[in-house]
């Protein structure tokens, strides 16, 4: 069975799914590398935070950038997928990061952070207000949370074709909208400092490679896909062929677009 054929068919829980993907994740995480770099470029430059937490760290793409950017900071990184943490430790073997396997909705640590960051993870960790409540509990007063997450509208090319080819199997869930994120953070007591929504495009050699890449990132085959039913081989072949035609770019390859929210919230200083 080809990798593309497996696409949309598996439905393990997110931690198992991401654990299974951990080995190939860093080399397939093209969009996550892009958004991590953009997130780091937006971070406060002048002062260096003493304690930083990376939520949903995966194999540590953003975590390692943070360690490079703030070499004197103590950095903690958590992820619910044990194998993501195993690979993160392997990819950053110098021991400078404190890696923890934990759920971002329920973790408890005995100290507070000046800065919490998260890249391409929070849209997987629902409900968002629960995650923001944990963040608020773990932020010092005046501390910040800076995040990048995917919004509704991400991969609309794929979603649109899939809905047309197999309307009865359309995914039943959607990614958060900007108001979903803003309301969840506000209800947890965090104050909005700034946010921006950016469309980021990635070009892949063809649709098949694109789907394989998603599969290797561990982002396919979740509960949404299993509830709606996986595409069969014929539907996948049709999808790939139409995608290659419809979303070809003149320079070669096909385009996939991600709608990314960059946001910064503050834990208001104590009054």
User: Where on the chain is the footprint of ligand SAM (CB under 6 A)?
Assistant: 14-15, 18, 29, 32, 36, 56-58, 61-62, 79-81, 84, 103-105, 119-121, 124-125, 217, 219
Nearer to ligand SAM, 27 or 241 (CB): 27
As measured in angstroms, the least distance from the Cβ of 94 to ligand SAM is 19
Nearer to ligand SAM, 150 or 190 (CB): 150
Q: Please write down the long-range contacts of 228-231, taking CB distance under 8 Å and 24 or more positions apart.
A: 228/169, 228/170, 228/171, 228/172, 229/166, 229/168, 229/169, 230/7, 230/8, 230/9, 230/169, 231/7, 231/8, 231/162, 231/165, 231/166, 231/169
Beta strand pairing call for 191-204 and 254-266: antiparallel
Please say whether the beta carbons of 101 and 56 come within 8 A: no
As measured in angstroms, the least distance from the Cβ of 267 to ligand SAM is 20
- Which residues are registered as beta bridge partners of 192? 265
Write phi, then psi, for 175 (nearest 5 degrees): -75, 165
Q: Which residue is nearest to ligand SAM (CB)?
A: 58
Nearer to ligand SAM, 123 or 144 (CB): 123
As measured in angstroms, the least distance from the Cβ of 237 to ligand SAM is 27
Nearer to ligand SAM, 88 or 236 (CB): 88
Nearer to ligand SAM, 73 or 147 (CB): 147
As measured in angstroms, the least distance from the Cβ of 55 to ligand SAM is 7
DSSP, collapsed to helix, strand or coil, labels residue 262 as strand
As measured in angstroms, the least distance from the Cβ of 228 to ligand SAM is 20
Query: ∠41-142-130 over CA atoms, to 5°?
Result: 85
Write phi, then psi, for 24 (nearest 5 degrees): -100, 0
As measured in angstroms, the least distance from the Cβ of 225 to ligand SAM is 15
In order of 78, 96, 170, the CA distances from 262 in angstroms are 20, 27, 28
Nearer to ligand SAM, 79 or 264 (CB): 79
């Amino acid at each position: 069975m080809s990798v593309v054929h497996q696409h949309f068919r598996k439905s393990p829980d997110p931690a198992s799914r991401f654990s299974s993907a951990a080995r190939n994740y860093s080399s397939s995480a093209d969009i996550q590398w892009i958004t991590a770099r953009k997130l780091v470029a937006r971070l406060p430059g002048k002062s260096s935070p003493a304690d930083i937490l990376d939520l949903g760290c995966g194999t540590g793409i953003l975590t390692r950038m943070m360690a490079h950017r703030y070499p004197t900071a103590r950095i903690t990184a958590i992820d619910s997928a044990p194998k993501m943490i195993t690979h993160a430790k392997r990819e950053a073997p110098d021991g400078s990061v404190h890696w923890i396997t934990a759920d971002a909705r329920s973790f408890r640590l005995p100290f507070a952070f000046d800065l919490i960051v998260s890249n391409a993870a929070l849209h997987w960790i629902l409900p968002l207000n629960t995650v923001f409540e944990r963040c608020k509990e773990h932020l010092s007063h005046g501390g910040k949370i800076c995040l990048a997450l995917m919004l509704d509208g991400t991969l609309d090319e794929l979603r649109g074709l899939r809905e047309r080819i197999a309307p009865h199997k359309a995914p039943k869930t959607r990614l958060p909208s900007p108001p979903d994120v803003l309301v969840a953070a506000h209800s947890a007591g965090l104050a909005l400092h700034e946010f921006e929504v950016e469309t980021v495009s990635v070009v892949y050699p063809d649709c098949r490679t694109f789907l394989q890449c998603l599969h290797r990132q561990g982002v396919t085959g979740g509960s949404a896909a299993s509830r709606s039913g996986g595409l069969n081989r014929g539907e996948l072949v049709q999808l790939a062929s139409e995608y290659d035609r419809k979303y070809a770019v003149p320079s070669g390859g096909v385009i996939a677009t991600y709608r990314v929210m960059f946001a910064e919230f503050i834990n208001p200083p104590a009054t």
